[in-house]
């Protein structure tokens, strides 16, 4: 991926995590909530903070680190200082995220008229959150079977057949992965599709001349 990279996605998850209750009343109300298994709200926050610790330390600047390391980032009502730091970081992140999206769309607009129509369909009819059910290949083709979701335009099983393959870089574990974001580029003889996948977080790259999309 050139724009929607693994680090880009990991930072986006940090952004989603770095939220605070609007008021002390909201915070107190949350403290009374428990999961069905009896796990308290604080225990859930502690577990998620521990799970995200590496990414939090990677993408948040040094002033956040004491809160991350002592576990208080999300398990205590935020101070004015912490809330202000979070608001400033979130604003900066949103600006950078907007710029990345804009940069990708600008390059895509320059090439879209040169791409096969069904390659364009991947862009217009998103496969976001679709599950990769299988991958198979022959000497010159690769076939992906994707379970589409209502998040995108495909809410059925989708068969992608790439022909005249020039190059393919596939993660070891592809079946069962979720299709997150894709990037499309023009090559001298065809196109290049890059897909950011989750479960596990990985990338797929296929260079081919043609693409056929079928719903099954």
Q: pLDDT per residue over 134-164, tens digit each?
A: 999 988 999 999 997 765 566 789 999 999 9
| Residues 155, 94 share a domain | no
Distance between first and last Cα of the chain: 29
pLDDT band at 207 (very low <50, low <70, confident <90, very high): very high
pLDDT in the model for residue 19: 94
Question: Is 50 or 125 the better-scoring residue by pLDDT?
Answer: 50
Residue-wise pLDDT for 60-106, tens only, equals 999 999 999 999 999 999 999 999 999 999 999 999 999 999 999 99
pLDDT band at 34 (very low <50, low <70, confident <90, very high): confident
Q: How far is CA 134 from CA 9, 140, 158, 160, 210, in A?
A: 24, 17, 11, 11, 20
pLDDT in the model for residue 154: 65
pLDDT band at 36 (very low <50, low <70, confident <90, very high): confident
CB 111 within 8 A of CB 192: no
Phi and psi for 21 in degrees, rounded to 5?
A: -65, 150
**Residue 106 and residue 119: Cα distance in Å, rounded?**
17
Question: Is 26 or 150 the better-scoring residue by pLDDT?
Answer: 26
pLDDT band at 190 (very low <50, low <70, confident <90, very high): very high
Q: Flag the least confident range among 46-60, 136-150, 161-175.
A: 136-150
| Residues 12, 102 share a domain | yes
Is the confidence at residue 23, as pLDDT, over 70? yes
Residue in this structure with the two tokens 């009374």, named with its chain if needed: 32
Q: Look at residue 186 and tell me if it is in a domain.
A: yes
| Residues 125, 206 share a domain | yes
Q: Look at residue 145 and tell me if it is in a domain.
A: yes
**Residue 199 and residue 181: Cα distance in Å, rounded?**
13
The alpha carbon of residue 184 and the mean position of all alpha carbons in its chain are separated, in whole angstroms, by 16
| Residues 138, 198 share a domain | yes
**Residue 123 and residue 182: Cα distance in Å, rounded?**
8
User: What is the pTM for the complete model shown?
Assistant: 0.91
| Mean pLDDT, the chain, integer | 93
Q: Look at residue 1 and tell me if it is in a domain.
A: no
Q: What DSSP state is assigned to residue 154?
A: -
CB 170 within 8 A of CB 132: no
pLDDT in the model for residue 108: 96
| Residues 83, 19 share a domain | yes
Last residue of some domain: 90, 110, 130? 110
């Amino acid at each position: 991926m050139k724009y929607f990279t693994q680090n880009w996605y990991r930072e986006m998850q940090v952004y989603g995590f770095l939220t605070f209750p609007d008021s002390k009343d909201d915070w107190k109300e949350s403290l009374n909530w428990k999961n069905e298994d009896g796990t308290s709200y604080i225990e859930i926050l502690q577990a998620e903070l521990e799970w995200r610790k590496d990414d939090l330390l990677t993408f948040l600047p040094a002033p956040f680190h004491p809160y991350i390391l002592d576990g208080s980032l999300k398990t205590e009502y935020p101070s004015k200082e912490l809330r202000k730091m979070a608001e400033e970081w979130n604003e900066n992140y949103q600006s950078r995220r907007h710029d990345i999206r804009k940069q990708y769309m600008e390059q895509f607009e320059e090439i879209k008229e040169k791409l096969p129509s069904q390659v364009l369909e991947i862009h217009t009819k998103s496969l976001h959150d679709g599950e990769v059910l299988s991958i198979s290949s022959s000497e010159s083709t690769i076939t992906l079977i994707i379970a589409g979701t209502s998040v995108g335009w495909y809410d059925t099983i989708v068969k992608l057949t790439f022909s005249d393959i020039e190059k393919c870089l596939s993660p070891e574990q592809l079946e069962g992965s979720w299709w997150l974001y894709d990037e499309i580029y023009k090559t001298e003889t065809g196109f290049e599709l890059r897909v950011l996948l989750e479960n596990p977080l990985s990338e797929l790259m296929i260079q081919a001349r043609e693409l056929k999309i079928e719903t099954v």
